[in-house]
Amino acid sequence: MNRSNQFIKYLLALVTVTFSTISVNAQVSLVKDIDTGTTYLSGLPYDITPTDSSTFFFSAVSTQHGRELWISDGTTEGTKVVKDIYPGTSGSFPSRMTIAGNKIYFTANDGIHGYELWVSDGTEAGTRLLKDLLPGNIGAFESTTLSENYRLLTAVDNKVYFSFDDGVHGRELWVSDGTKTGTKLVKDINPGKNGSTSLLLVAAAFNNKLYFSAYENTHGNELWVSDGTEAGTKLLKDIETGSNSGVPELLTAVGDKFFFRAFYGGIGHVLWVSDGTEAGTKLLTDITNGTSSFSPDKLTKVGNKLFLVANGGLWVSDGTNVGTNALKSYGLPNNSSRSLFAVGDKLFFEDYNNLKGTELWISDGTLAGTQFVKLIGPNKIISISEGQAAGNQLIFAASLAESSVGAELWISDGTEIGTKIIKDINPGKESSDPRELATVQNKVFFSANDDNHGYELWVTDGSSANTQLFKDTQPEKTGRSGYAFTREYAKSGNKLFFPARDSIHGHELWVTDGSMDGTTLLKDITSGERGSNPRSLIPFKNQVYFAANGNLWVSDGTEAGTQLVADVDTSDRNSGIFEIFASENQLFFVANDGIHGQELWVSDGTQTGTKLVKDINPASSFNPFWEMVIFKNKLYFSVNTDKGREPWVSDGTEAGTQILKDIVPGLNSSEPSRFRVAGDMLYFQATDGTHGIELWVTDGTANGTRMVKDIFPGASSSNPRNFTLYKNKVYFRAQNSENNQELWVSDGTEAGTMLLKEINTVTGSAYPSTFIEYNGKLYFRAEDGVHGNELWVTDGTSEGTQLVKDIHEGPRDSSPTDLRIFAGKLYFFAFDITHGYELWTSDGTTTGTRIVADVNPGIGGSSTFSLGELNNHLFFFAYTLSIGSELYKYNPAVTITDFSPKSGKIGDEVTITGTNFETTTTNNTVKFNGTLATVISATTTQLKVTVPNEATTGKITVEANKQTVTTKDNFTLKPVGLAEDLLNQALKVYPNPVAQMLNIELPDQSFRVKLFDIQGREIKIKYQNGLIDLSQIPVGQYLLKITSKGITVSRKILKQ
């Protein structure tokens, strides 16, 4: 391994390193060490912190300096170390970066003072220790105590607030204006050494003040406010009078009111409302009359009303006592954990009736309008999942275990007749297991398994006739086939294609089936260490197309089938193909053939069908194309011509490639970019020369191309971007004259385009991005100025827009990336102070948002990146010191929920239900009290097995996805009766294994014979004169069942 010995010493000193990485844990494992020669050491940049100008700060590792503070102006030349704070290779590990005014505040260790507070203006001379708060080499922010004593830096205007224990006052509120004398205690809120320990547990900045939760002995943990002075720091409201604590939580705005929950009267959580003043902060209502906790939860805005789960049922409130009413009592107390689905101005929810089963309900916020819709699961508790609002209807997945259908797709318009299974995709009791629902152009796309194609991409418009397989990439079983490509992954058939690099072949195309042996170099397109640099992988016509060496290539997953399609760059300068896009019947890409410059090309997948579409700008060889996107089976893009840079459209023909609309006539440009399809419209940003860069939309025609709204009035620009469709509206980020980059929403009209929520009221912009819909809500990353860049969620309302979890506690960023829905949960990569950058998952709750696996233990993290999916596994690259960045996979947790029957005889069939079994029968190992059984069929949720000959009473174990799980109950083996024992003794079946003719001998000739394959399907056979001809059936294992006088015995048959 070619590493610096000093750098290894540095990492070993500061990061816990795992050298045995073949199996991280039962759910995450190394697929293959692709490059066994060397390990690539990364700079591992963390804490990217933008300023109000064009620069940004971050920390990164270098072999010369270790981890230090860096600055960048957006160019390579302008990216550099600000200062070697801890001279040498150890690094100062700068962290908790917070911008206040024109300076950055952070903690760092210079090797002398320990971890203390530093400040920088971006220059070496202007980077200095702010104040030695805790003299000595430990420091005020010693990293070894982070898990217990993490302090926050919170910026308000040009100052930062933080919590610090000076050894005299306890942990209290401090402030700094960037000077040594201006770094001081704000107020000793709780006199003595205990401090106000709950400081900033819940905090927000409003009107240049800090509102926060703090504890002091007289009033307990209550709501406080501070303007940065001792006199201006005071208790706002003593919610729970005396020394008891109100502990306000869950601030939720509806109109001009804020709802929150707090403890009251010793009975637990109750509902409060506030207008921001002490007098206006009051108990909304004590529903229980002081007898028990109201326990408000799941505060959800629907229209102008607040829905919430409380007191064992569904409630609604308009902010008044009179208008706070119970709507429905739940049939089971734990129904309070079930999801609420907001659809338009109605709320869908499920309930369980002890006499009937699972019911779907709807509410408009009134008693009369809270109505039973339909009985979904007769006599069963069925969990409705993956609910998706489509117009005024709810499309959802529901499981009907042990009924005539399994988990299938449903739809409801709020009426009983309009609530029904859309289609039994996997007919019978088996489940199609629909998941990953997403609305696109008024249709819902989803993943499902019809038992013929595996998990593939399906589509529905809500009708059975139009619910059909959308794309078959050859028979396979996948967890989620919806994303055809994500950051250089592409699936075709049962293989995952990706570019990788090894020391011998360079950067080439690789393929994996999920196993170590099945992960191989597909083809060494360019011999030697240089490689062909494959990129822009995309499935098309059951193959994967990609660019390599500037030309168009295709692969069917074999070396022989990986071939050059068209030599686009005939100049041999490798400057040809850029990003590739696929419509229904053709590929679009920008290429430079060395003659025409960068122009638009099209291909049907063949050499003769690959051609230049149009020389759009003959006068120029450099025509950068921006933001290409497929919309309504055409390519929309931005390109610079003699009319300036304007939006264009192409159907793949020269005649059909033309300017969509000359928004700014003449040579000036409208600068269209950030194209994003949302339903049946295409949104983008552009300027008309008068209003600046604003929100635009098109239906694909010139007349239908228009500015939606001048969000930032005048010549200033709102710079809208990240357009995402959710609940038939478009959510995006933009800024206006009053707000920085914040969360906006639009229904496509000027009046319906508005700021949804000002998330960051402290430090500037929230920068919401990476939107994804999950479980009826929209998840994204944003920063509120208090918690850094973290995971957020919205239900489409201001009060329903909330932080999911402060993963990297305090003002630093966890920077969630690669958000993806898989196996019913949200997966992403994020950073925290304990684990570094690793794989995380979330079910939408704070407690359900957790790290999946610490691949590279310690703060160094594994720098995970890129998520791909195949056969119910997630694939990603992760870094460890011992082997570098390599390919790993995540196996979802295997569970056994039940098995039936609980007792039986040898040869009987037993059904095991659970989650995340392997879909290939031979990949599941089932044992009855240690005796191996035969698996005859397998889905991700069900295994069917036969009781083996040597079985005894005991537990059943299942080994799948590199995990072993065991049943809670014993399987009881029934003794074989005398008649059955005699039949077994008399029966002779030979030869076994068998190639052609199978002999059956039994004194009593009045018996019946049936043969089954390992999938449980009966095989047609002809029995005559004691012989069965098996010569025509495939090689494999079979189960022979013989019934005589009502008694059935079985034999395993191996066909050679």
b/e per residue 966-980 (b: at least 16 CB within 10 A): ebeeebebeebeeeb
Collect all residues with Cβ–Cβ distance below 8 Å to 959 and sequence separation of at least 6: 924, 925, 926
- Asked if the structure places residue 828 within a domain, the reply is yes
H or E element at residue 968? none
Confirm if 780 and 768 have CB atoms less than 8 A apart: yes
1009-1023 average pLDDT score = 82
Backbone angles phi, psi at 241, to 5 degrees: -60, 150
Collect all residues with Cβ–Cβ distance below 8 Å to 982 and sequence separation of at least 6: none
Q: Give yes or no: residues 360 and 494 share one domain.
A: no
Could you tell me which of 44, 40, 23 has the C-alpha nearest to residue 890?
23
- Asked if the structure places residue 519 within a domain, the reply is yes
Last residue of a domain, one of 863, 888, 913: 888
What pLDDT shows up at residue 442?
Answer: 62
What span, in angstroms and rounded, lies between the C-alpha atoms of 569 and 591?
8
What pLDDT shows up at residue 103?
Answer: 92
β-bridge partners, 263: 269
What pLDDT shows up at residue 160?
Answer: 86
Q: How confident is the model at residue 76 (pLDDT cuts 50, 70, 90)?
A: low
Question: 3-class SS at 664?
Answer: coil
Q: How confident is the model at residue 881 (pLDDT cuts 50, 70, 90)?
A: low
- Residue in this structure with the two tokens 């809208």, named with its chain if needed: 720
Taking 3-state DSSP, the helix, strand and coil percentages for the chain, each rounded to the nearest 5, stand at 5, 45, 50
1009-1038 average pLDDT score = 84
Percent of the chain exceeding pLDDT 70 equals 79
Note the residue count of the chain: 1056
CA Rg, the chain, in Å?
A: 32
Collect all residues with Cβ–Cβ distance below 8 Å to 702 and sequence separation of at least 6: 660, 661
Q: Give yes or no: residues 485 and 605 share one domain.
A: yes
CATH number at residue 441: 2.130.10.120
- Residue in this structure with the two tokens 């109100």, named with its chain if needed: 246
Q: Give yes or no: residues 1002 and 1022 share one domain.
A: yes
Token representation of residue 575 = 């400057």
At residue 526, does pLDDT exceed 70? Answer: yes
Q: How confident is the model at residue 293 (pLDDT cuts 50, 70, 90)?
A: low
Could you tell me which of 764, 817, 816, 769 has the C-alpha nearest to residue 786?
764
- Residue in this structure with the two tokens 């703090």, named with its chain if needed: 214
Q: Give yes or no: residues 838 and 968 share one domain.
A: no
145-151 average pLDDT score = 32
H or E element at residue 9? helix 5-14
270-284 average pLDDT score = 80
What span, in angstroms and rounded, lies between the C-alpha atoms of 1051 and 1055?
13
Most confident residue range from 222-226, 461-465, 620-624, 746-750: 746-750
Q: Which DSSP category does 157 fall into? A: T
Question: What is the per-residue pLDDT across 857-873, written as a single tens digit (0 to 9) for each?
Answer: 766 666 666 667 887 88
Q: Give yes or no: residues 596 and 479 share one domain.
A: yes
- Asked if the structure places residue 639 within a domain, the reply is no
At residue 290, does pLDDT exceed 70? Answer: no
Of the ranges 11-20, 589-598, 602-611, 783-792, which one carries the lowest mean pLDDT score?
A: 11-20
Token representation of residue 213 = 């939760």
136-141 average pLDDT score = 66
What pLDDT shows up at residue 479?
Answer: 25
- Asked if the structure places residue 657 within a domain, the reply is no
What pLDDT shows up at residue 100?
Answer: 86
What pLDDT shows up at residue 289?
Answer: 55
Q: Count CA within 13 A, CB hemisphere, residue 964.
A: 7
Higher pLDDT, 274 or 966: 966
Higher pLDDT, 624 or 696: 696
What span, in angstroms and rounded, lies between the C-alpha atoms of 1056 and 556?
31
How many domains are there within the chain?
5
Q: Count CA within 13 A, CB hemisphere, residue 740.
A: 16
Question: What is the per-residue pLDDT across 423-437, written as a single tens digit (0 to 9) for each?
Answer: 888 887 677 778 766
What pLDDT shows up at residue 862?
Answer: 66
Q: Give yes or no: residues 364 and 447 share one domain.
A: yes
β-bridge partners, 136: none
What pLDDT shows up at residue 652?
Answer: 94
What span, in angstroms and rounded, lies between the C-alpha atoms of 740 and 396?
36
What span, in angstroms and rounded, lies between the C-alpha atoms of 956 and 794?
43
97-106 average pLDDT score = 88
Average pLDDT, whole number, for the chain?
Answer: 79
What span, in angstroms and rounded, lies between the C-alpha atoms of 832 and 860?
10
107-130 average pLDDT score = 90
Collect all residues with Cβ–Cβ distance below 8 Å to 1005 and sequence separation of at least 6: none
Q: How confident is the model at residue 255 (pLDDT cuts 50, 70, 90)?
A: low
What pLDDT shows up at residue 637?
Answer: 92
Confirm if 1000 and 1049 have CB atoms less than 8 A apart: no
CA 243 to chain centre: 43
Q: Give yes or no: residues 491 and 566 share one domain.
A: yes
- Asked if the structure places residue 165 within a domain, the reply is no
Most confident residue range from 283-297, 306-320, 431-445, 699-713: 699-713
Question: What is the per-residue pLDDT across 918-932, written as a single tens digit (0 to 9) for each?
Answer: 888 888 999 999 999
Query: What is the amino acid identity at position 516?
Result: M
Q: Give yes or no: residues 859 and 945 share one domain.
A: no
1030-1050 average pLDDT score = 82
Question: What is the per-residue pLDDT across 842-859, written as a single tens digit (0 to 9) for each?
Answer: 999 999 999 988 887 766
Q: How confident is the model at residue 401 (pLDDT cuts 50, 70, 90)?
A: very low
What span, in angstroms and rounded, lies between the C-alpha atoms of 32 and 36?
9
Query: What is the amino acid identity at position 71?
Result: I
Last residue of a domain, one of 942, 973, 1004: 973
What pLDDT shows up at residue 347?
Answer: 87
Distances (CA, A) of 612 to 432, 577, 581, 599: 43, 12, 15, 7
Range of the structural domain that residue 935 is part of = 895-973
Q: Give yes or no: residues 431 and 534 share one domain.
A: no
Token representation of residue 970 = 């014993």
Find the angle CA(696)-CA(697)-CA(699) to the nearest 5 degrees.
Answer: 160
The structure's pTM equals: 0.54
What pLDDT shows up at residue 961?
Answer: 83
- Asked if the structure places residue 1046 within a domain, the reply is yes
What span, in angstroms and rounded, lies between the C-alpha atoms of 639 and 643?
10
At residue 1051, does pLDDT exceed 70? Answer: yes
- Asked if the structure places residue 792 within a domain, the reply is yes
What pLDDT shows up at residue 278?
Answer: 84
Confirm if 844 and 157 have CB atoms less than 8 A apart: no
What pLDDT shows up at residue 720?
Answer: 93
Higher pLDDT, 653 or 280: 653
Could you tell me which of 490, 497, 583 has the C-alpha nearest to residue 539?
490
| Per-position DSSP letters for 912-964, written without gaps between them | EEEE---SSGGG-EEEETTEE-EEEEE-SSEEEEE--TT--SB-EEEEETTEE
Q: Give yes or no: residues 484 and 581 share one domain.
A: yes
Distances (CA, A) of 350 to 337, 341, 521: 11, 9, 50
Higher pLDDT, 973 or 384: 973
Q: How confident is the model at residue 378 (pLDDT cuts 50, 70, 90)?
A: low
Last residue of a domain, one of 833, 861, 888: 888
Confirm if 955 and 966 have CB atoms less than 8 A apart: yes
What pLDDT shows up at residue 1025?
Answer: 80
At residue 335, does pLDDT exceed 50? Answer: no
Q: Give yes or no: residues 480 and 609 share one domain.
A: yes
What span, in angstroms and rounded, lies between the C-alpha atoms of 985 and 981?
6
Token representation of residue 316 = 């609604």
Q: How confident is the model at residue 596 (pLDDT cuts 50, 70, 90)?
A: confident
Q: How confident is the model at residue 440 (pLDDT cuts 50, 70, 90)?
A: very low
| 3 state SS for 499-545 | EEEECCCEEEEEEECCCCCCCEEEECCCCCCCECCCEEEEEECCEEE
- Residue in this structure with the two tokens 């940003």, named with its chain if needed: 685
At residue 826, does pLDDT exceed 90? Answer: yes
- Residue in this structure with the two tokens 């906006």, named with its chain if needed: 744
What pLDDT shows up at residue 750?
Answer: 95
122-134 average pLDDT score = 92
Question: What is the per-residue pLDDT across 756-791, written as a single tens digit (0 to 9) for each?
Answer: 999 988 767 899 999 999 999 999 999 887 788 899
- Asked if the structure places residue 594 within a domain, the reply is yes
Of the ranges 309-313, 570-574, 576-580, 887-891, which one carries the lowest mean pLDDT score?
A: 570-574
Q: How confident is the model at residue 206 (pLDDT cuts 50, 70, 90)?
A: low
At residue 960, does pLDDT exceed 60? Answer: yes
Distances (CA, A) of 748 to 361, 677, 682, 695, 706: 31, 13, 10, 10, 10
Q: Give yes or no: residues 599 and 507 share one domain.
A: yes
Bridge pairing between strands 551-555 and 563-566: antiparallel
Higher pLDDT, 475 or 736: 736
Of the ranges 251-255, 427-431, 590-594, which one carries the lowest mean pLDDT score?
A: 251-255
Q: CB atoms < 10 A from the CB of 55, how many?
A: 16
Confirm if 18 and 880 have CB atoms less than 8 A apart: yes
872-881 average pLDDT score = 79
b/e per residue 623-633 (b: at least 16 CB within 10 A): bebbebbebee
Most confident residue range from 442-446, 565-569, 960-964: 960-964
Confirm if 415 and 441 have CB atoms less than 8 A apart: no
Q: How confident is the model at residue 574 (pLDDT cuts 50, 70, 90)?
A: very low
What pLDDT shows up at residue 931?
Answer: 93
What pLDDT shows up at residue 269?
Answer: 76
At residue 444, does pLDDT exceed 80? Answer: no
Higher pLDDT, 834 or 799: 799
511-535 average pLDDT score = 85
